[in-house]
Amino acid sequence: MKAETATAKQSQDLLQVEELNIHFPTDHGMLKAVNGVSFNVYRGKTLGIVGESGCGKSITGKAIIGIQPKTSAISGSIKLGDVDLVKLKRNGREIRAIRGSKIAMIFQEPMAAFSPLYTIGNQIMESILLHRTKNKKEAAMLTVDILQRVGISNPEKRFHQYPHEFSGGMMQRAMIAMALSCEPELLIADEPTTALDVTIQAQVLDLMKQLQREFGMAIVFITHDLGIVAEMCDEVAVMYLGKIVEQATVREIYKNPKHPYTRGLLRSIPTIGSRKERLESIEGTVPIPINMPPMCGFFDRCQDRIPGVCDKREVPETQLSDNHRVSCFLYADTDNETEILS
Amino acid sequence: MSSYIVRRLIMMIPVVILISIIVFFIIQLPPGDFISGYAAKMTTSGEVMDEAALKLLRESYGLDQAWYVQYGKWIWGMISKGDFGYSLNYNRPVSSIIGQYMSLTLVVSIISMLFTYAVSIPIGIFSAVRQYSIADYIFTAFGFIGMATPNFLMAIILMYLSYVYVGDPMLGLFSPEFIDAAWTYAKFVDFFKHMIIPVIVIGLGSTAELIRVMRAQMLDEMDKPYMLTARSKGLSERRIIMKYPVRAAINPIVSTLGWSLTAVFTGSTITAIVLNLPLQGPVMYRALLSQDMYLAGTWLLFMAVCIVLGTLISDILLVWLDPRIRMRKGM
Ligand SMILES: Nc1ncnc2c1ncn2[C@@H]1O[C@H](COP(=O)(O)OP(=O)(O)O)[C@@H](O)[C@H]1O
Ligand SMILES: [Mg+2]
């Protein structure tokens, strides 16, 4: 019985990230932007990656399609089926065949993500011409079609327009169209609505949910806003200083947050009708992850810290249940720890 | 687009007229005229010209009239008969001098510019794509040397080298035997050989500068977020570079082509003097010194038209290349 569910779950596996490290050599030492990150993405599901700015979300997302900065050193594995994407040659033929076709990405600043010198149609069609058809007419038709599907009215006309003729919301729709044009299995969305104003934000999120139902792709949804996570995701990984400090289903995270950092983030979500004058925010600043001693990176900001414990060792990960894990000394049971140490 | 060009062409007319008036006014501004300079020269060589003879000369060339009358006649001759006046220095119609020097100058300028673009743009791209590589450092060093070496010095060095290794300093644009010959294959080859040094000398500074500009523009563009988008689609690096940053980096360079051409056209005077090139620079220089007013005036006017045309070409290219500007101009 148990073995059966395990295989069922495995067949749903789309992407497996294991012990991913992305380090930048700097003059002061190694900057560990991503430090031992592991997570799975399941077919058709949405995984949220949440955390404050600089915690390594974007780099993680970029690393999945191998577009992390050239200056970084990457290790660990990112498995798409049997293929370890980390092992593929940078910008080589194999990873390029996956980019845009199996895994697509959308970015935070839609305006900047397009070149101002080519039409929207040209830039979307490029993907299609690369992965789906060599026929220009057909590619143009497919482009108009996808523009229509992301809710851009008058797509034939819009096809020939330039980015500066689009509004921010329209641009983000165009970017989504570009990403979905080859019907990827996985969409990495890096703060896709952060640059948009609130009403447009809601529209784009609704669109993404609708398109996920239609296309059936999985989404890695990167955001710093736990409020959006509730709306968009099935599962959420909370990142802090290059590590995942807690991961659980969305229900579980909201109902039963364990990590003091997660709790802090939840307290800082604005809720509609809340009378609070000011949102609580987590005190203190994020350290720079260079030459960190073996200790909890959240120690200095943590309300529940245990001096002499949290600042003396690496934090062990505790599997609280099937769908909930946390890295915090508050939940580290000794059994688990010996298991990790042995 | 075409209505924009027509509009701009029409706008050129008053500009050119205004410039021609200013040019003519300034040229006759210094005290004396060609005749007084001529008389002074005669005196130093022992001949004395009397007042009556000078007066006669002035009258026959119309130099005794007010400047605006002279200007009117000059312009009228230009419009009605294509007559640009008479060069007192050369004792020939201005138009024949212009025909002779201007076409050669144009050829040398255009070849210099092509040289500049053909060398600097690929190097600039390469240096940016391989930033901090050994080749990048070498090109950078070359660039600084090129920018820092004065043209005349470069000209002399190259002439010397050519003399030592080829046995001919390659002065002028033709070997003596070809100067008055008709165009044949042999003359063409000779011309081409003589072009090498001038083109390098005239083009070197701008080549070095353009490498820096192109490299900087490329690095700037390659840092932009649209590069990530292009990569995320699965395009190859080469295609991305050529389609996006190169196009973006070349735009400002191509669109200033008009201005650059004018700059090369007018800026090669010293090189032309040093290399004894039959180009417009030295001729113009002499015309100004001796107050050969119709020649100098026509020349300045010609330059002004070149600059206005160059600007027009640049503006058109800019509009053509950049959709954002096209939009703003309402096309
Ligand atoms: N090109 C780079 N060179 C050096 N460090 C970088 C570079 N890009 C990102 N980093 C570092 O990696 C960390 C994570 O960055 P990022 O993934 O962009 O954060 P975010 O969670 O805000 O998306 C940051 O600390 C940042 O300083
Ligand atoms: Mg980010």
Minimum mean pLDDT among A146-155, B28-37, B215-224: which range? B28-37
Q: What is the pLDDT of residue A3?
A: 47
User: Which one of B229, B320, B327 makes the best mutation probe of the A interface by having the most chain A beta carbons within 10 Å?
Assistant: B229
Q: Which of A49-63, B59-73, B248-262 has the highest mean pLDDT?
A: A49-63
The whole-angstrom separation of Cα B206 and Cα A277 is 62
φ, ψ for residue A41, nearest 5 deg: -120, 130
Q: Which residues of A97-126 are buried (b: 16+ CB within 10 A; e: fewer)?
A: ebbbbbbbbbbbbbbbbbbebbbbbbbbbb
Euclidean distance between CA atoms B34 and B91, whole angstroms: 12
Decide which of A2 and B282 is more confident: B282
Q: Indicate the average pLDDT of chain B.
A: 86
Give CA separation, A155 vs A123, A152, B251, in Å: 14, 6, 29
Q: In what order do the strands lie in the sheet with A83-84?
A: A29-42, A13-26, A73-80, A83-84
Long-range own/partner contacts, residues B129-135 (CB < 8 A, 24 or more apart): B129/B218, B129/B222, B129/B241, B131/B219
Residue A148: CB atoms within 10 A of its CB come to: 15
Residue with tokens 């001759």: B77
More confident residue, B325 or A196: A196
Distance CA B231, CA A104 (A): 10
Interchain proximity B226–A67, CB inside 8 Å: no
Can you tell me the distance from the alpha carbon of A21 to that of A33, in angstroms, rounded to the nearest whole number? Answer: 8
Cβ partners under 8 Å of residue B183, min gap 6 = none
CB atoms within 10 A of CB A334: 8
For the domain made up of A12-102+184-341, the CATH class stated in words is alpha beta
Which residue from A26, A59, A64, A222 has its CB within 8 A of the most atoms of ligand 1, so it is best to mutate?
A59
Helices (H), A166-269: 168-180, 198-215, 226-232, 250-255, 260-267
Q: Is A120 in the pocket of ligand 1 (CB under 6 A)?
A: no
Tell me the pairing of strands A186-190 and A103-106. Answer: parallel
| B86-87 and A324-327 strand pairing | unpaired
Q: Cβ separation of B234 and A96 shorter than 8 Å?
A: yes
Structure tokens at A214: 């239609």
Q: How much is the pLDDT for A75? A: 97
Q: Which residues contact A311 (CB under 8 A, 6 or more apart)?
A: A293, A295, A296, A299, A305
Helices B280-289 and B94-129 sit at what angle, rounded to 10 degrees?
Answer: 130
User: Do the beta carbons of residue B259 and residue B316 sit within 8 Å?
Assistant: no
On chain A, the residues whose CB falls within 8 A of the CB of B323 are 116-117, 119, 162, 164
* Cα atoms found within 13 Å of the Cα of residue A252, Cβ hemisphere only: 18
Q: Which of B225, B233, B248 sits opposite A117 (nearest CB)?
A: B248
Nearest-Cα distance to chain A for B142, in Å, is 27
Q: List the single residue in B235, B237, B251 with the smallest CB-CB distance to A130.
A: B235
Nearest CA to ligand 1 atom 25: A54
Q: So what's the pLDDT on residue A336? A: 47
**Where is A18: in which H helix or E strand?**
strand A13-26
Please report the pLDDT score of residue A10 as a whole number: 54
Cβ distance of A67 and B232 shorter than 8 Å: yes
Contacts for B49 with CB less than 8 Å, ≥ 6 apart:
B39, B42, B43
Q: Block means of pLDDT (10 residues each) for chain A, length 342 residues?
A: 50 91 94 96 96 94 96 96 95 96 95 95 97 96 96 96 94 96 97 90 95 96 92 96 96 94 86 55 82 90 90 92 94 58 42
More confident call, B208 vs B55: B208
B204 pLDDT band, cuts 50/70/90, is: confident
pLDDT at A18: 97
Sign (positive or negative) of CA dihedral A54, A55, A58, A62: positive
State the first-to-last Cα distance of chain A, in angstroms, to the nearest integer: 29
Closest among A136, A125, A134 to A181, alpha carbons compared: A125
Ligand 1: residue of A31, A243, A290 to mutate (most ligand atoms within 8 A of CB) is: A31
Tell me whether B323 touches chain A (CB under 8 Å): yes
* Tokens describing residue A267: 């307290």
**The ligand 1 atom nearest the CA atom of A22:** 12
Q: And the tokens for A121?
A: 């149609």
H/E segment holding residue A327: strand A324-327
pLDDT of residue B62: 75
Q: What is the pLDDT of residue B88?
A: 81
pLDDT, position B143: 87
Residues of B in contact with A117 (CB under 8 A): 244, 247-248, 251, 321-323
Helices A120-131 and A168-180: crossing angle in degrees, nearest 10, is 10
**pLDDT value for A103:** 98
Give percent above pLDDT 70 in chain B. 99
CA A163, distance to chain mean position in Å, is 25
Q: Do B323 and A162 touch (CB under 8 A)?
A: yes
Give the pTM: 0.84
Please state the separation of Cα B140 from the chain's center in Å: 26
**B87, β-bridge pairs:** B92
Q: List, in order of start, the domains of chain B with CATH numbers.
A: 14-83 (no CATH), 98-328 (1.10.3720.10)
Question: Which residues have C-beta within 8 Å of that of residue A23, sequence separation ≥ 6?
Answer: A30, A31, A32, A33, A34, A35, A72, A73, A74
Residue A339: per-residue pLDDT: 45
State the burial class of residue A3 (Cβ atoms within 10 Å of its Cβ: 0-12, 13-18, 19+). exposed
Q: For residue B330, which residues of chain A lie inside 8 Å, CB to CB?
A: none
**pLDDT confidence of B161, banded at 50, 70, 90?**
very high
Looking at residue A275, its pLDDT comes to 52
∠ at Cα B38 (B34, B39), nearest 5°? 120
> Rounded to whole angstroms, how far apart are CA atoms A32 and A251?
31
Q: Would you place residue B320 in the very low, low, confident or very high pLDDT band (cuts 50, 70, 90)?
A: confident
Q: Is A238 close to ligand 1, i.e. is its CB under 6 Å away?
A: no
pLDDT of residue A11: 62
Least confident of A164-168, B51-55, B85-89: B51-55
Alpha helices in chain A (DSSP H): 2-12, 57-64, 93-98, 110-113, 120-131, 136-149, 155-159, 168-180, 198-215, 226-232, 250-255, 260-267, 334-341
Q: Among residues 85-104 of chain A, which lie with CB inside 8 Å of chain B? A: 91, 96-101, 104
